[in-house]
Amino acid sequence: MTEATAPKRGRGRPKKAPDAPKQRYFLSRAEQARRQTQKRLRDAKKRAEKVTKVAESKRRYARKLEEKVGKVEKALKGDTTTVIDTGELSTLPPPVQELVGNREVVFQPNEGPQEEFLSSSERDVLYGGAAGGGKSFALLADPLRYCTNPNHRGLLLRRTLDELTELIDKSRQLYPKAFPGAKFRESKSTWHFPSGATIWFTYLDKDKDVTRFQGQAFNWIGIDEITQYPTPYVWDYLRSRLRSTDPELQQNLYMRCTANPGGIGGWWIKKMYIDIGEHNKPFPASDVETGKPFLWPQGHEKEGQPLFYRRFIPARLTDNPFLMADGQYEAMLRSLPEIERKRLLEGDWDVADGAAFPEFSRAKHVVESFDLPTNWPRIRAADYGYASPSCVLWGAIDWDNNIWIYRELYVKQLTAEQLADRILEAEQLDPLPHYTVLDSSCWNKTGFGPSIAETMMRCGVRWTPSDRNRIQGKMEIHRRLADDPRTNEPRLRVFSNCSNTVKQLAAIPLSKTNSEDVDTKAEDHAYDALRYMLMTRMTGYAAIHQTLNGIKNQVYQVQNETFGY
């Protein structure tokens, strides 16, 4: 045995002899009182814990009973989508059992995510993931929960009319069975239920179309395939339409959406629901751009608490027995190319980031407008269109060679002359631009007449032809969005009033056929103008020009001081 492991003698407590008499302590009165009080406190705490546990279990029981009563009430009012299992049925009084038990249940949620989606209580829920998981079907069934209430107003949206037709067809199979007497009025594209409740099925394509819902109120709003929207604008706007004056519905205001991974809007859905927290758990809603949580305002009794909660419920094909039964659909999804297979079979959102500039962040690249120093060189770039929009961008180059896009003109159906007038008007108070660049195809001539570029130049708006190399242009935007290691700031910033540039940088998707380029089918006029601007050699010239100007100014100053002229 080594010295280190040998037991140490004379250390620790000496062991008592087994037959030693018990030691007695004499405590002071104060100490006795303190110990007694502590014991009483401990006992009281134990009793309180017991009572809290009992209260909690009674509360749970009461909530269950409440749910059951709610279900039975709905069933008695004729709702055939509410499932009452045999265990629950046996606890009801016999006449109620007879009425409720003889109903034909027309919709029973699939166990798992679909069931969770249909019973989720958060204000805003995304049910997203694999194809065929039962998402659209669940979205159709969800608003039926409140159709026994005469004040229920539901709004179910898809991006285009064709896609909406498919949903309407499915609703025709489900709704009249769930609520006998429910009628679909074609002219208004609305389901009317016997209670007076309504669900409006409509489409919403462009951002500006949201004005159709101005002044309207809905207590349930749903969008099927929400990633078809390039930005969160529509979803954010619809939140302002979510309200009800009915006390029951006020407690049940819901926004529900479904999606497959990817798509033009995959980037913001990922940011809003998927990357933000644990899946299948509620999390406080926040602004998708700034990441700041929405909180109850100052002065409200809930001041500082989350305004509402969101939740993401992942969908899996394996949860839908209706499509899994013969394995055909699964086999078909397995045969897809890897990326599509991962997205549609495995519901993988990470391979679905369709945005061409995922590094673009409003918090970092978008700034409030400010007065630009007049000695920052100005540049102007444009993409011309008549039926499709023309976009003209103005930029300024600072002393560190960073570009600030400070103005945007985004107009449709203007001839070359009219556009030239608008440009001159906008530039009235600007220093003269040092460099101007226009889509080089504007020099193309179809006959003997002047080209678009020539026409504008005749009106006093000068241009040079752009470099149209798409891949290089995209790379240049990436380079400018990245931080400059000298300043830790990006080399490109956009004023917030240039809304189309901001929108397109945030949302323009990658091409499906060429991952080096953006999707040319997406709206890209501001993107193209920006590309032309950044592909000029102006930024290099500007830096030299600025240095020369600085030297010139110093020379003038010295001359002035020395010779007085």
Ligand X SMILES: Nc1ncnc2c1ncn2[C@@H]1O[C@H](COP(=O)(O)OP(=O)(O)OP(=O)(O)O)[C@@H](O)[C@H]1O
Provide the binding-site residues for Mg ion, judged by CB under 5 A. Answer: 135-136
Please tell me whether residue 160 binds ligand X under the rule CB under 6 A.
no
Q: Which stretch binds ligand X (CB under 6 A): 47-55, 102-110, 184-192, 494-502?
A: 102-110
Q: Choose the contact partner of 322 out of Mg ion, ligand X, none; CB within 5 to 8 A by kind.
A: ligand X
Q: Whole-number minimum distance, CB 40 to ligand X, in Å?
A: 57
Q: Please identify which residue in 109, 230, 262, 389 interacts with ligand X, judged by CB under 6 A.
A: 109
Report the candidate in 237, 231, 310, 213 with the shortest Cα–Cα distance to residue 269. Answer: 231
CB atoms within 10 A of CB 533: 28
Q: Residues 6 or more apart from 50 whose CB is under 8 A from it?
A: none
CB of 114 to ligand X, least distance (A): 6
Instruction: Spell out, one character per residue from 181 to 210, where the chain touches ligand X: x when CB under 6 A holds, - when not.
Output: ------------------------------
Output the CA torsion sign for 50, 52, 56, 61. Answer: positive
Distance CA 313, CA 133 (A): 11
Nearest to 107 by CA among 170, 178, 213: 178
Q: Residue-wise over 328-339: b if at least 16 C-beta within 10 A, else e? A: ebeeebeeeeee
Q: Which residues does 364 contact at the CB level (< 8 Å), separation at least 6? A: 490
DSSP state of 7: P
Bridge partners, 157 (sequence order): 202, 223
Q: How far is the CB of 336 from ligand X (least distance, A)?
A: 13
Measured distance CA(494)–CA(455) in Å, rounded: 29
Q: Which is nearer to ligand X, 348 or 427 (CB)?
A: 348
Instruction: Report the DSSP beta bridge partners of residue 505.
Output: none
Number of residues that bind ligand X (CB under 6 A): 17
Q: How far is the CB of 305 from Mg ion (least distance, A)?
A: 34
Note whether 131 binds ligand X by CB under 6 A.
Answer: yes
CA-nearest of 317, 228, 223, 316 to 266 is 228
Binding mask 62-101 for ligand X (x = CB under 6 A): ----------------------------------------
Q: How far apart are CA 418 and CA 422, in angstroms?
A: 6
In the bound state with ligand X, the residue whose beta carbon lies nearer, of 261 and 473, is 261
Q: How far is the CB of 327 from ligand X (least distance, A)?
A: 14
Residue 171 found at the interface with ligand X (CB under 6 A): no
> Which is closer to ligand X, CB of 122 or CB of 225?
225
Element holding 58 (H helix, E strand):
helix 29-76
Minimum Å gap between C-beta 257 and ligand X is 12
> Looking up tokens 């009483």, which residue turns up?
40
- Among 105-113, 157-165, 289-297, 408-416, which window interacts with ligand X (CB under 6 A)? 105-113
How far apart CA 324 and CA 333 sit, in angstroms, is 12
Q: Per the structure block, which two tokens stand in for 531?
A: 């590309």
Q: 291 to 350, contacts with ligand X by CB under 6 A?
A: 315, 320, 322-323
Residue 433 lies near ligand X (rule: CB under 6 A): no
- Shortest Å, Cβ 280 to Mg ion: 20
Q: Under DSSP, is residue 202 helix (H, G, I), strand (E, B) or coil?
A: strand
- Give the residue, chosen from 80, 136, 171, 228, that forms a contact with ligand X under the rule CB under 6 A: 136
Tell whether residue 133 is a contact of ligand X (CB under 6 A). yes
Strands 489-490 and 483-484: antiparallel
User: Closest separation between CB of residue 341 and Mg ion, Å?
Assistant: 18
Output the CA–CA distances (angstroms, integers) from residue 432 to 374, 377, 435, in the order listed: 10, 8, 9
Q: For residue 142, which of 161, 122, 160 has the smallest C-alpha distance?
A: 122
- Considering CB distances under 5 to 8 angstroms, the limit depending on partner class, which of Mg ion, ligand X, none binds residue 314? none
134 binds, among ligand X, Mg ion, none (CB under 5 to 8 A by kind): ligand X
The nearer residue to ligand X, 227 or 536, going by C-beta atoms, is 227
Q: Find which of ligand X, Mg ion, none residue 131 binds, CB within 5 to 8 Å per kind.
A: ligand X
- Provide the binding-site residues for ligand X, judged by CB under 6 A: 107-110, 114, 131-137, 260, 315, 320, 322-323
